[in-house]
Structure 1
């Protein structure tokens, strides 16, 4: 039955529902013929024709013209339409101890530009923010952003860093307010949690709902996905296992750092028994906190991200074995393939979720 046949009393609501049906159909496909669009949206041809015309005026859709040098079809060609991802832009920025990275994407999340700057862990909050603004400006290249996602270290709630001890003067900072501009929404999240979101979107956890993401680099932290959604907790501090010093994460990295991570894993590959002993001890320390999280969440997958994820199976295999020993059920362990873009990609996904909510909401759209 066509959606127009439903008994909805508000004509404006009915109109908006029909617009969203057409927009969703276009967004889900590369191109659709007009007939396919009618079928996908379950609306009448006159209704679809009117809505497509409005979407074209807003810049969100366009007719796909045949290529001038392409084969000439027999008879009258079917009209084809596509969603215009270039109609708007958003960005994700990773503001960390050692770098600021900004990725700018279109409305489908495809990267169109980027910029980065190396920073010092001891840099003041004012200088770090100034660098972030400069990097965002360079990456956007004059484009207006519909939304900006921000990932940073610390417990984040309501756009503010409520707990942080890694960056000078970072605790209490209103990042959403500092990076906000007229017409721009700013959404802020913890870096590890956003990296987990990125893994679910474009990484090792794309087909998995319940995931523990373990960031292992200059520090160790955890992000949790339940049913494909970030679990933040009441204060935004879910997964902050490392604050329990009894877990041993504060000291687990010491021997790895003193040896040098790249040198250490190269030595393991070469069969060095001392290096193998160091990695074994590190994995045992690491596994205690991970196992506690696994037993709490019962995930399908543990993803290792951060700098040490480059060790690959040299880290994943012993952690998998240790978790099998400590936990009730075996758990799959994979390493991330997203590299140091994971936090920025998660921030993009955070911003894109907000933009898609607006595009597909029953309330009137904000023009792109």
Structure 2
């Protein structure tokens, strides 16, 4: 970025502001000299902009600790991006729980709330529980955006297709949770948001092409292509489990009947029956995963959801099966995010919205 002159003064001014704000946001804290260098603007322009950003509450000068030894000469002015200038919330609305995480503008968690819910609960009661959890988690925080993750195919904030929660299909979730709120509410599919979280803060941070496999009470897939979450034309990319021939509908039955924790504990002790169940499950799982691997050619497959806790007891046999079925071996890892992955992905969805507003070259 270089300092601009001529043309539309308001646009040029905004471009310069965005340059300074991006530099400060990316680094967190910079001296004035570092900020001038990073933004490639003149010192007087940068000083004027950081003053304006300070008035907006987005930046502030970092004062030296009186007890810190000072070097000879005038101390360098240092500024920081105010991560507490606003807050974000991410909500996971599932069959068994509602979880809300609250973060600052860097995505660091500052609060949370949770409620256990019943899979048979009506949509009205589930929404009431969700509102109560959001209220508890966000009390005292000035929200700038709310992200929501839930089961089903999601399009424009609405649940287009869903068969896991009563009365959920057709629900305008963004409208229900956004009514009367001064900030945007964005809604996404739970698996896809868990995929987004894994790419942001999890095992897939350095990968451009990722298959995320959510294996818990059901099996579903999310995709990162070219470093971005891939939704597809209808928001249903990766929903290969609907094909009965893939075998995912019944794949979890024997795992559930044995009990996942008990099953993998038995595998650790070399139990032949448990080993056979896991081998059968991996064989069922691998058909759909291999088809996706052959389509996407990913750098990485990440196993998330409850069964990811099995670690290499699940990842290793899947890795071996994919090596047998696919053209090239593929790296298979388990998620490091645990039960917060969907809510964290919802935070990332909200953060993307806020960062888009902060760095937009047009104001308003």
Name the TM-score class by shorter chain.
over 0.9
SS in 1 for 2:65: coil
Cα deviation for residue 115 of structure 1 reads: 0.6
Checking the alignment, whether the CA contact within 8 Å between 1:2 and 1:44 is kept in structure 2 is no
Distance 2:162 2:175 in 1: 18
* Unmatched tracts of structure 1, length 5 or more: none
Tell me if the contact between 1:91 and 1:149 (Cα under 8 Å) persists in the aligned partners: yes
Q: Which residue of 2 aligns with 1:235?
A: 234
CA distance in 1, matches of 2:309, 2:79: 43
| 3-state DSSP of counterpart to 1:275 | helix
1:328 Cα shift? Answer: 1.1
Number of aligned pairs?
Answer: 363
Partner of 2:96: 98
- Secondary structure (helix, strand or coil) at the match of 2:301 reads strand
How many Å apart are 1:2 and its aligned residue? 4.0
1:152 match: 150
What CA deviation, in whole Å up to 9, does each residue of 1:89-125 have, x standing for no partner? 1111000011100011111111110111111111110
Q: What RMSD in Å do the two structures reach over aligned CA positions? A: 1.0
Map of 2:245 onto structure 1: 246
* Distance in 1 of aligned mates of 2:241 and 2:192: 14
Distance in 2 between residues matched to 1:226 and 1:108, nearest whole Å: 24
User: 2 CA distance for matches of 1:65 and 1:143?
Assistant: 25
Task: Give me the TM-score of the superposition, normalised by structure 1.
Answer: 0.97
The aligned residue for residue 46 of structure 1 is 44
Cα distance per residue 1:195-231 (max 9 Å; x no partner): 0000000000000010000000000000011011111
Q: Distance in 1 between matches of 2:162 and 2:4?
A: 53
Separation in structure 2 between the aligned mates of residue 165 and residue 216 of structure 1, nearest angstrom: 17
Q: Distance in 2 between matches of 1:115 and 1:34?
A: 39
Corresponding residue number in structure 2 for 1:4: 4
Alignment of 1:1-368 (within 5 A): 2-5=2-5, 8-180=6-178, 181-364=180-363
Normalising by structure 2, we get a TM-score of 0.98
| CA apart distance, 1:69 | 1.8
The 3-state SS of whatever aligns with 2:19 is helix
* Partner-residue secondary structure (3-state), 2:16: helix
Alpha-carbon distance in 2 for matches of 1:121, 1:71: 60
